């Protein structure tokens, strides 16, 4: 059985093209192994990444005082300890409010590689995206003025903004979001899969390579492509209706298009689908085959693909938990209501 799989793999590549080449032809791209190339790829030319901005952005990312209640930080729903998500079916925010469209929190890891942000793709980049949840009523529920009020009330934050952007920086809400985005741009997780696409033929096991081949051959890479293996807008339920679609559920953007989730670290981001109604990866794979590709993936194919997806578990950046500066008497009072 194993020998057969390997033969099949060899057969598919004897014509000269390696599996890595085939993957690239299918639109898959690795995270660059070269640090400079990676930084160039992830940095925003209009707001270049610097260590001062990254450190400040990390502080803001973890600071619950940016929320109206003082209890919810970016990290609450995009928790870097558990795959950059919250493990919920629908996100829970201010006053324990569930996301009104039953949407689960997408992972922040590798979100920099997305072409669009949010499930409906309404945001072009992380700088814009970061402004949303802070203000959204069912999430952090803070006004722009509240956020700038908090940050400017804390002298150490002001000093860090000046260090990051120059003495004359005006600390606006947008600048706070920009800085959080700079931090998020560093949250990439290279994996053995990237090593494989970058030329190390032994980085994936034969079984994982077989899974990658099945992934490509079945058409998964049609939507789950590029560096994120996701991140573009695609029609959801292209050939059949999702079996767990519920009343009130998110139905995509105005054209019914949905931003494809990354498959990187997918083993850490259950439950699956936009409304978190699928608990296991194998069920998610089969349902995707059925509603997007019109194929009934059998157990063998599903296992092959799952084996490949597990190889997308990446190495997380080390995070030194920030020690945040104390509030002052000028810091706006929190409001849990």
Q: Which residues of this protein are in contact with a copy of itself, per CB under 8 A?
A: 62-65, 69-71, 76, 79-83, 86-88, 92, 95-96, 98, 267-268, 270, 279-280, 316, 318-324, 326-327, 329, 334, 336
Distance (Å) of CA 34 to CA 16, 31, 37, 233: 26, 9, 5, 29
Q: Contact 267/136 with Cβ under 8 angstroms?
A: no
Q: Compare residues 18 and 327 and give the one whose CB is closer to a copy of itself.
A: 327
Q: Terminal CA-to-CA distance of the chain, rounded, Å? A: 61
Q: Within 230-272, where are the H helices?
A: none
Side-chain half-sphere CA neighbours of 7 within 13 A: 4
Q: Compare residues 98 and 136 and give the one whose CB is closer to a copy of itself.
A: 98
Q: Compare residues 293 and 319 and give the one whose CB is closer to a copy of itself.
A: 319
313 is an active site residue:
no
In the complex, minimum distance from the CB of residue 67 to a copy of itself, in angstroms, rounded to a whole number: 11
Residue position matching structure tokens 């490949």: 308
Cα separation, 188 vs 169, whole angstroms? 28
Question: CA quadruple 172, 176, 181, 186: dihedral positive or negative?
Answer: positive
Q: Compare residues 124 and 317 and give the one whose CB is closer to a copy of itself.
A: 317
In the complex, minimum distance from the CB of residue 323 to a copy of itself, in angstroms, rounded to a whole number: 5
Helix, strand or coil for residue 5?
helix
In the complex, minimum distance from the CB of residue 134 to a copy of itself, in angstroms, rounded to a whole number: 17
In the complex, minimum distance from the CB of residue 69 to a copy of itself, in angstroms, rounded to a whole number: 7
Q: Compare residues 25 and 280 and give the one whose CB is closer to a copy of itself.
A: 280
Q: Contact 267/281 with Cβ under 8 angstroms?
A: yes
Q: Compare residues 56 and 221 and give the one whose CB is closer to a copy of itself.
A: 56
Q: Name the residue among 14, 48, 68, 35 with its Cα closest to residue 337.
A: 68
In the complex, minimum distance from the CB of residue 63 to a copy of itself, in angstroms, rounded to a whole number: 7
User: Which contiguous run of DSSP H or E holds residue 259?
Assistant: strand 257-259
In the complex, minimum distance from the CB of residue 116 to a copy of itself, in angstroms, rounded to a whole number: 26
The strand pairing partners of 28, in sequence order, are: 226
- Selected catalytic residue, list 127, 139, 268, 301: 139
Burial label, 7 (beta-carbon count in 10 A; 0-12, 13-18, 19+)? exposed
List the catalytic residues. 139
């Amino acid at each position: 059985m194993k020998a057969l799989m390997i033969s099949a793999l060899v057969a598919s590549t004897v014509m000269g093209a390696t599996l890595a080449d085939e993957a690239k032809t299918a639109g898959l791209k690795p995270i660059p192994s070269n640090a400079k190339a990676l930084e160039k790829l992830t940095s925003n030319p209009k707001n270049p990444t610097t260590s001062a901005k990254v450190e400040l952005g990390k502080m803001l990312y973890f600071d619950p005082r940016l929320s109206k209640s003082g209890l919810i930080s970016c990290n609450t729903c995009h928790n870097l300890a558990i795959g950059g998500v919250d493990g919920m079916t629908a996100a829970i925010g201010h006053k324990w409010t569930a996301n009104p469209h039953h949407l689960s929190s997408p992972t922040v890891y590798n979100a920099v590689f997305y072409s669009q942000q949010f499930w409906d793709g309404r945001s072009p980049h992380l700088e814009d995206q970061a402004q949303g949840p802070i203000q959204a009523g069912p999430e952090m529920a803070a006004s722009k003025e509240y956020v700038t009020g908090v940050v400017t009330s804390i002298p150490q934050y002001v000093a860090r903004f000046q260090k990051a952007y120059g003495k004359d920086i005006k600390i606006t809400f947008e600048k706070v979001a920009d800085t959080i985005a700079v931090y998020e741009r560093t949250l990439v997780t290279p994996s053995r899969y990237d090593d494989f696409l970058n030329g190390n033929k032994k980085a994936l096991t034969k079984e994982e390579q077989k899974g990658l081949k099945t992934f490509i051959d079945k058409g998964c890479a049609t939507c789950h492509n590029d560096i994120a293996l996701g991140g573009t807008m695609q029609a959801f339920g292209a050939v059949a209706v999702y079996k767990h679609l519920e009343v009130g559920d998110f139905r995509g953007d105005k054209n019914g298009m949905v931003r494809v989730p990354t498959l990187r670290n997918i083993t850490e981001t259950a439950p699956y689908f936009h409304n978190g109604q699928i608990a296991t990866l194998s069920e998610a794979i089969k349902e995707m085959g059925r509603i997007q590709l019109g194929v009934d993936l059998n157990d063998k194919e599903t296992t092959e693909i799952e084996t490949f997806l597990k190889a997308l578990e990446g190495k997380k950046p080390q995070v030194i938990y920030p020690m945040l500066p104390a509030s002052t008497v000028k810091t706006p009072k929190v409001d849990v209501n």
